[in-house]
Amino acid sequence: MALTGASNITGFMPPLKEIAILTHEHGAKILVDGAQLLAHRAIVMGRGDAPEHIDFLAFSAHKMYAPFGCGVLIGPKECFQDGKPAIVGGGSVELVTLKDVIWAEVPEKEEAGTPNLIGALALARAIQIFQEIGMENVAMHDRELTRKTLELLKEIPGIRIFGASDPFLKRDRVGVIPILADKYDHALLAAILGYEWGIGVRHGCFCAHSYVSHLFELSEDDLEEYIKQIRTGDRSRLPGFVRISFGVYNTAEEIEYFSYALREILAKGPQFPYRLEKREGEYIPEGLANHFSLDFLFTR
């Protein structure tokens, strides 16, 4: 059984303990993708003999603000001892002959090539900082921002929230909120927020195309049509959301600013005309390029 610890689209958190117990009752193991979860909530894998324990945990360092592209897979050592490694190369072997290969011990067997030492150190320091802040404090801050955002979004006509939108958070969720504006394509709204208001949001399907298709209730015919468009080099009409997501550095004042920006955009429109690049599915503002010269960036 493999499932996400928290959705990177709707912020939904499945009941991991209950699912783990059910999985183990049927003699299977559970893997949790914790990439979106670990920067928002603490996760306890538990003892191996506990029915609610998590067998495998995978996550990415960049989601925890650590640079240099490190990834982590935690699991029982015995699961990796037999068989060939997924990726072979230097460091994963003890000896190679023309007839045989003697693999190294775990974990070296699964870590071919030069280790990403800087990435591992960066992740370790990021984890230390989270521990210093305290994950309960991180979770509390995340909930406060999510609650405030949902309250403000519900007051803006023309904005639709997908997924759980209850500001009282009767069911806990992480600070990830997908929205759409009735008047603007998701790519255009994201461009206006970024270029004109300095607000960084993502738009599109967020590497979770099947989930987005489900939320949009797309049919097989709809998906076939999108496939045809992509094959012709046209990404201008692909479905997607504008995603608001919070980090430990965000503030309530930034949420108020974001709400104000949305209201202004919906009431007055963009300040510049935008050109749609069909191949990329992105909007570029006309006449704004001069505002982003190198001299501007490095002297202010």
CA distance 13 to 292: 39
What residue has token string 């749609």? Answer: 276
DSSP class per residue in the chain: -EEESS-TTT-B---HHHHHHHHHHTT---EEE-TTTTTTS------TTSTT--SEEEEEGGGGT--S--EEEE--THHHHSS--SS--TTSEEEE-SS-EEEPPTTGGG--SS--HHHHHHHHHHHHHHHHH-HHHHHHHHHHHHHHHHHHHTTSTTEEE-S---TT-SS-B-SEEEEEETTB-HHHHHHHHHHHH----EEE-TT-HHHHHHHHT--HHHHHHHHHHHHTT--TT---EEEEE--TT--HHHHHHHHHHHHHHHHH--SS-EEEETTTTEEEETT-GGGG-HHHHHH-
Task: Look up 79 and say whether it is catalytic.
Answer: no
Active-site entry in 70, 79, 205, 207:
207
Tell me the catalytic residues: 207
